[in-house]
Structure 1
Amino acid sequence: MVEEQQDRLAGYFYARIFLRNPAVRDMFPMTMDVQRSRLLGAIVTAIQAVDDPERFDEYLRGLGRDHRKFQVVPEHYEVVGKALLDSLRTFARDQWTYEYDQAWRDAYDVIARKMLAGAESDCNPAWWHAEVMSHERRSRDIAVLTVRPIQQLEYRAGQYISMESPAHHPRVWRTYSVANAPRANGTMDFHVRAVGVGWLSGALVRRVTKGDMLRLAAPMGSMVLDRRSTRDIVFLAGGTGLSPIKALLDELTSFNRTRWVHLFFGARDRQDLYDLPYLQTLAEAYPWLSIVPVCSHDRGWGGEEGTVAEAAARYGPWRDHDFFVSGSPAMVKTSLRALAQMQVPHGRIRYDAFNDH
């Protein structure tokens, strides 16, 4: 009912929050454009997970832990709930019914309780201070940062983390996947692309240097390996969506001996295949790994053309494989549609579609 008005709805939603509780405004960045665009994305992700109780619970508890970085307290959930219902009711107009109102009250009550439970059960810091150990430009708009948290930060390969640069853009948090499995020295790699006028991504690529301090929030995401599975694996990675895939490969090199792994790595042109030499070296060292680079807008470049999903379809069948999909929301959506056409069971597909990468 309200999807076509989501920008206006999000603006109205935040206006209601700030009017009811002006002090909350200081928890948000000065410009709210990106924050508004993510509102319905988070709600839709939660609602779509209702049919999968384990994923629903895991996502919301993780979201509650993540929101500790904003210094959210239980009273804020009531403010948000009232603003959300008021916004939906206002923009649905005559289509809104009592049944919808009650259903959304019940849904939000469950969402809030699970998020609060996740926050209350977390004994970790609200965020970790981390020092930039190295900064390397890989292409015209991509950089690889290696950071080391001051305190131990536990995560699993394939997860993502919210990041803030207090020196450059305080209160602006963006999510980036960790590009390596956990290391003994605690360092973490992040692949960052400067996106448009993105404040934080641009700063991380062009302005952050070795020795700078960043803040990292609690890890989130369910795109992790199931070591009990014996099925072969297909990775579909688009652009810097390679980050979590690289972490999963890192983990696989420590124990895998029996599962064949196929990685389709896609980019717009050959210059954006920024980590291809490393991947090819990895494939030479581990015979179970094969790499297929793909370019969508670089005709005659010498390799596969089109999207990663189109390239994968040419190699199948894949009905007996585990799939991991990582990239922009548009890339993930296109890939999931293609996998459905290839009759890959949805339960064998893991993805996180809300990373900034």
Structure 2
Amino acid sequence: MGDLGRLLKESWSLVEENQDKVAGYFYARMFLSNPELRELFPVYLEAQRTRLLRAIVTAIQTIEDPDRFDSYLHALGRDHRKFHVEPEHFEVAGGALLEALRHYGGEQWSIEYDQAWADAYTVISTKMIAGAAADKNPPSWHAEVIAHERRAHDIAVFTVRPLQPLEFRAGQYLSIECPQYQPRLWRTYSPANAPRRDHTLDFHVRALGAGWVSGALVRRLAVGDMLRLAAPMGSMTLDRRSTRDTVFVAGGTGLAPVKSLLEELTRYNRTRWVHVFFGARTRDELYDLADLNRLAARYPWLSVVTACSDDPTFPGERGTISEVVARYGPWNEHDFFVSGSGAMVRSSLRTLAELQVPSIRIKYDTFTDY
């Protein structure tokens, strides 16, 4: 895969500055050639474009790691079942993607780049189709809201019960749709619990800006409402074979997957020290601190450090959560899990690199609520 990976990265650098336009062109070409496909997607495509670009970048980054590449694409294929995508749609999408890349690649776009993307897309689509075909689950799950609580002005914690069991691993994420409020708009959120016998799932959601789905989930969702959930994805999961002590770094509602992983650890951990760093702008946004403190009081191996970056009267640590992590340590023998906004994750990864934490020991997921 060496040459292919190099050609993909080289050619992507030609269009990277215009990646939003690439995504817009892709959807325009696809819907122009097959208008019936438009009905599978939401009215507003902004978030869909972002997810397409994330998928492309992840595929490029993982193509030289066969296990991770296969796992990611099989999961992506399963996830796309929620759109009722059929195998023949992949050919249409491949043609539209190549046209978009050629258009924005300009004069430097070569036949070699064209062939590399055609070859890569064939592999990608084959693995996605195989992942979808092998999935014996429904394309999506209907779930009833059984509890909903506002924890802050713009943060809600709610619980759903799927009508059919939904299997996932602690630390994974899945897409949610609110059919009654924002049909066909899917947004990704992490369950805040490890799998339970009653199959219920907790979610922590913050409404940001004009976020259609997050706003509905925080301000309009009520007990008795029905949601749709898609297949779980993500690899920010625990390795039970590891004996290293563990550090969780969470910003805002990025705490959700950390809570899920902590819950799994409470079921078997006896030997690993676990440190949770939980950061927000103000103390009101430390919306789940009471539960974290209860866990720390119950499990001697768990410690919790909180920080606020914009609250002068906060009695705990001050500054961004990555700054606070740097004050503790040393950390070069620990496993790290980082979860939060894009800016928070990037800042934390920079800090960990400066602290010489090996990247192979860091797992992370970036969350954007809209």
Q: Same-fold call, TM > 0.5?
A: yes
Which residue of structure 2 aligns with residue 248 of structure 1? 261
Residue 208 of structure 1 and its aligned partner are, at CA, apart by: 0.9
Summarize deviations over 1:293-345 as a string: whole Å, max 9, x none. 01122234222222222211110111111111111122212211221111111
Residue 160 of structure 1 and its aligned partner are, at CA, apart by: 0.7
Deviates more, 1:306-315 or 1:87-96: 306-315
- The aligned amino acid for 2:363 is R
Q: What is the number of equivalent residue pairs in this alignment?
A: 357
Q: Which runs of 5+ in 2 are unaligned?
A: 1-13
Which residue of structure 1 aligns with residue 206 of structure 2? 193
The whole-number CA distance in structure 2 between the counterparts of 1:198 and 1:114 is: 32
Summarize deviations over 1:217-255 as a string: whole Å, max 9, x none. 111111111111110000010100000000111111111
Which residue of structure 2 aligns with residue 147 of structure 1? 160
Which residue of structure 1 aligns with residue 8 of structure 2? none
The whole-number CA distance in structure 2 between the counterparts of 1:318 and 1:50 is: 30
Q: What SS does the aligned partner of 1:138 have?
A: strand
Q: Deviating runs (4+, > 3 A) in structure 1?
A: 354-357
Are positions 1:113 and 2:87 aligned together?
no
The whole-number CA distance in structure 2 between the counterparts of 1:324 and 1:50 is: 23
Which residue of structure 2 aligns with residue 266 of structure 1? 279
- The aligned amino acid for 1:228 is R
The whole-number CA distance in structure 2 between the counterparts of 1:55 and 1:332 is: 21
Q: Contact 1:160–1:355 (CA<8 Å) still a contact in 2?
A: no
Which residue of structure 2 aligns with residue 37 of structure 1? 50
Which residue of structure 1 aligns with residue 365 of structure 2? 352
Summarize deviations over 1:249-283 as a string: whole Å, max 9, x none. 11111111110000000111111110011111110
Deviates more, 1:270-279 or 1:49-58: 49-58
Residue 354 of structure 1 and its aligned partner are, at CA, apart by: 4.9
Provide the aligned C-alpha RMSD in A: 1.2
User: CA 1:355–1:222 in 2, change beyond 3 Å: closer, same or farther?
Assistant: farther
Q: 2:143 aligns with which of 130, 149, 162?
A: 130
Deviates more, 1:242-251 or 1:322-331: 322-331
Which residue of structure 2 aligns with residue 236 of structure 1? 249
The whole-number CA distance in structure 2 between the counterparts of 1:331 and 1:166 is: 31
Q: Contact 2:189–2:367 (CA<8 Å) still a contact in 1?
A: no
The whole-number CA distance in structure 2 between the counterparts of 1:112 and 1:340 is: 34
User: What TM-score do the two structures reach when normalised by structure 1?
Assistant: 0.97
Residue 289 of structure 1 and its aligned partner are, at CA, apart by: 0.5
User: CA 1:189–1:36 in 2, change beyond 3 Å: closer, same or farther?
Assistant: same
Residue 355 of structure 1 and its aligned partner are, at CA, apart by: 5.6
- The aligned amino acid for 1:121 is A
Q: 2:82 aligns with which of 69, 80, 91?
A: 69
Q: How many percent of aligned residue pairs carry the same amino acid? A: 66
Which residue of structure 2 aligns with residue 294 of structure 1? 307
